[in-house]
Amino acid sequence: MQTDLKTAMADMAADVERAILHLLPTTDLPESRVLEAMRYGCLNGGKRLRPFLVCQSAALFGVNPDCALRVAVAVEFVHSYSLVHDDLPAMDDGDLRRGQPTVHRKFDEATAILAGDGLLTYAFEVLADPATHEDPNVRCQLVAALAKAAGPHGMVGGQMLDLIAEHETFDLGTTTRLQRMKTGDMIAFSCEAGGILGKAPPPQRLALRAYAHDLGLAFQIVDDLLDIEGTEAETGKSVGRDAEAGKSTFVSILGQDRARSQAAMLAVQAKAHLEIFDGRADILKAVADFVVARRT
Amino acid sequence: MQTDLKTAMADMAADVERAILHLLPTTDLPESRVLEAMRYGCLNGGKRLRPFLVCQSAALFGVNPDCALRVAVAVEFVHSYSLVHDDLPAMDDGDLRRGQPTVHRKFDEATAILAGDGLLTYAFEVLADPATHEDPNVRCQLVAALAKAAGPHGMVGGQMLDLIAEHETFDLGTTTRLQRMKTGDMIAFSCEAGGILGKAPPPQRLALRAYAHDLGLAFQIVDDLLDIEGTEAETGKSVGRDAEAGKSTFVSILGQDRARSQAAMLAVQAKAHLEIFDGRADILKAVADFVVARRT
């Protein structure tokens, strides 16, 4: 299954990159510089985990793959914008992202701010377009759910907490909320998007939500472990930054051993939520194992 | 009429501020800091011209004022986000906005970046909510049109051009495109939003669009004039910055006298587009005169 998963994720990553190029054409006009920076910010060879979750959850309900791909790209635009802004000197001050110069290092800081703004804005234009789904009610639900997952009560709120974590020590409850907001809510949206697109009945939506919740936490615990155990060559980004900044993470609170077993337990639990789909969600189950086993 | 207009604008500004407070409640949780910065960034006593245009254009078609007010606030969120990011050190590096410290001076740079991101994201959540209009098709049209006006082919593209204008000399054509993108497209959306909400027939939408186009250009020419002729006490922001930065503006290209007569001509033209509404658009006509006569 892990080989199948790797092939499926690689195929999807190629589809996502083609769709990004198609949706972000550049021109000879001078303002096209911001489009180039937007492209650069989302064509960096990432794993495309979130787009994969969108497309796989949509496939459970027989959604047109072209429609799912548009939502997948919108999610990747929002994820990429968050990385571009997070890397800015006033935020995490990152020079490298997946081994390449970050957007503000490649272009400049002002262009990076605008490129992030442009990616975020364009994501909503893509979702609201009739090409994404024939039913405007579905499109509105997608817009509302993505905005909620990315906004001040989701990702942006999580990043705010993350900044505060540099000066304050958080307990396990606040650290869990931080991570749910910062990465969990966007992972949850990626899984729920398939259910919205496929007009899935409530029990199936709830199952996807529960799966995404456990998957997101497991993902973040492994991220924290890699920040300690990984190398820059493996992760393609600076490591050891959380400890350096004195941030509370799952690993600083639980210790490495308990954190690792917690991640493994969450993966088991995530897979159990998918039993409702019989064998049709095997690839999403494999994603849970992949997320816990990953080294990058 | 100018007295009526001032009263109507002041009433609307009060409604907008109440709606902002209602839509952005703060909490005791630490991440609420970003909500406080978002509030601060849009509760700065502005003229609320764009919300006024939304509500007045909606009134032409008998739209429920509460629905129009939600769209008006969404527009103000997007306008405010653009000011918060535009004031950042890497962009225009502004210390004061309407006589008050800018968001990154009052809070810090990272919080200002996140507050801008949060305002932009939340605007789309507000538009997509069923409370904004019962018809999801109308809500999708609003989301798509706002995203287009604010994105890389609208405001964000205009800001990119504005940054390039610091190093390159633009001709009148490129300067006009810069201003249409940077401020014109959001003003155009504000006027079109009423037509979308009211499901107005195409000729009336076109008339509003044409009005907004002329109004937006007149607005920008006056902005350029105030940067030369105004005082900081009047405008509440630093003046003389365009000339200092060597930027091409309508005034640097046309000269003060021709720029002033051009703005006056555009106001006449803007008002003429509203004849289709008989006397019902008198207050929008008064806005055109107000925009040209303003000193702040």
Reading the block at residue B286, the tokens are 């008064």
Mean pLDDT of A114-119: 98
Which ipTM did the prediction report?
0.95
Buried b / exposed e across B221-257, counting CB within 10 Å, b at 16+?
Answer: bbbbbbbeebeeeebbbebeebeeeebbbbbbbbeee
Q: How far apart, in whole angstroms, are the C-alpha atoms of residue A199 and residue A67? A: 13
pLDDT for position A246: 74
Over residues A184-204, mean pLDDT: 97
A156:B117 CB<8 A: yes
Q: What crossing angle do the helices spanning B256-273 and B282-293 adopt, rounded to 10°?
A: 170
Write b or e for each residue in A33-70: b if 16 or more Cβ atoms lie within 10 A of its Cβ, otherwise e.
bbbbbbbbbbbbebbbbbbbbbbbbbbbbebeeebbbb
- Domain span at A183: 2-293
Q: What pLDDT is recorded for position A98?
A: 87
pLDDT band for A233, please (50, 70, 90 cuts): low
Judged by CB atoms closer than 8 Å, whether chains meet at B181 and A35 is answered as no
Q: Residue B234 has what pLDDT?
A: 66
pLDDT over 90 (residue B72): yes
The reported pLDDT for the residue numbered B141 is 98
Residue type, A289: D
Residue A232: the pLDDT is 66
Q: What percent of chain A has pLDDT over 90?
A: 80
Inform me whether the C-beta atom of residue A118 falls under 8 Å from chain B C-beta atoms.
Answer: yes
CB-based contact A195:A208 (threshold 8 Å)? yes
Q: How confident is the model at residue A178 (pLDDT cuts 50, 70, 90)?
A: very high
Q: How far is A110 from chain B (nearest CA, A)?
A: 5
Cβ contacts (< 8 Å) between B152 and chain A: which residues?
31, 34-35, 38, 118, 121-122
- pLDDT at residue A234 in the model: 66
pLDDT of residue B98: 87
DSSP B199-235: T--HHHHHHHHHHHHHHHHHHHHHHHHHHHH--HHHH
CA–CA min distance A90, chain B (Å): 5
Q: What is the pLDDT of residues B157-200, one digit of tens each?
A: 999 999 999 888 899 899 999 999 999 999 999 999 999 999 99
Tell me which of A107-121, A216-230, B16-30 is least confident.
A216-230
Does pLDDT of B255 surpass 80?
yes
Residue of B nearest to A139 (CA): B140
Exposed, middle or buried: residue A2 (CB in 10 Å: 0-12, 13-18, 19+)?
A: exposed
Whether B287 has a pLDDT exceeding 70, the answer reads yes
**Is A124 an interface residue toward B (CB < 8 Å)?**
yes
CA B15 to CA B256: how far, in whole Å? 36
Does residue A104 register a pLDDT over 90?
Answer: yes
pLDDT at B296: 74
Q: Does B263 touch chain A (CB under 8 A)?
A: no
Separation between Cα atoms, residue B164 and residue A32, nearest integer Å: 11
Q: Is the pLDDT of residue B67 over 60?
A: yes
Task: Inform me whether the pLDDT recorded for B27 exceeds 80.
Answer: yes
Minimal-distance CA residue of chain B relative to A27: B153
pLDDT at A150 over 70: yes
pLDDT tens digits, residue range A250-264?
A: 888 899 999 999 999
Whole-angstrom CA distances from B62 to B5, B92, B198, B261 are 19, 40, 7, 35
Number of domains in chain A: 1
User: Which positions ≥6 away from A257 have C-beta within 8 Å?
Assistant: none
How many percent of chain B have pLDDT more than 70? 96
Q: Report the CATH number at residue A287.
A: 1.10.600.10
Q: Is the pLDDT of residue B58 over 90?
A: yes
Which pLDDT band, with edges at 50, 70 and 90, does B3 fall under? confident
Quote the Cα angle for B119-B121-B127, to 5°: 100
pLDDT tens digit sequence for B76-100: 999 999 999 999 999 999 999 988 9
Under DSSP, is residue B101 helix (H, G, I), strand (E, B) or coil? strand
In the predicted structure, residue A239 carries a pLDDT above the cut 70: no
Mean residue pLDDT across chain B: 93
User: By the 8 A CB rule, do A168 and A35 touch?
Assistant: no
Flag if B125 and A144 touch (Cβ within 8 Å): yes
Assess whether pLDDT exceeds 60 at residue A1: no
A53-57, A197-201, B263-267, B292-296: segment of lowest average pLDDT: B292-296
Asked whether residue B1 carries a pLDDT value surpassing 60, the answer given is: no
List, for residues B223-251, the tens digit of each pLDDT value.
889 988 876 666 666 666 777 777 778 88
Residue A283, classified by CB atoms within 10 Å of its CB into exposed (0-12), middle (13-18) or buried (19+), is middle
pLDDT at B167: 87
Q: How far is A108 from chain B (nearest CA, A)?
A: 9
**Partner residues linked to A291 by β-bridges:** none
> Which residues fall within 8 angstroms of residue A272, CB to CB, at 6 or more apart?
none
The pLDDT, as a whole number, for residue A228 is 85
**Closest-approach residue (CA) in chain B for A141:** B128
The distance of B181 to chain A (nearest Cα, Å) reads 10
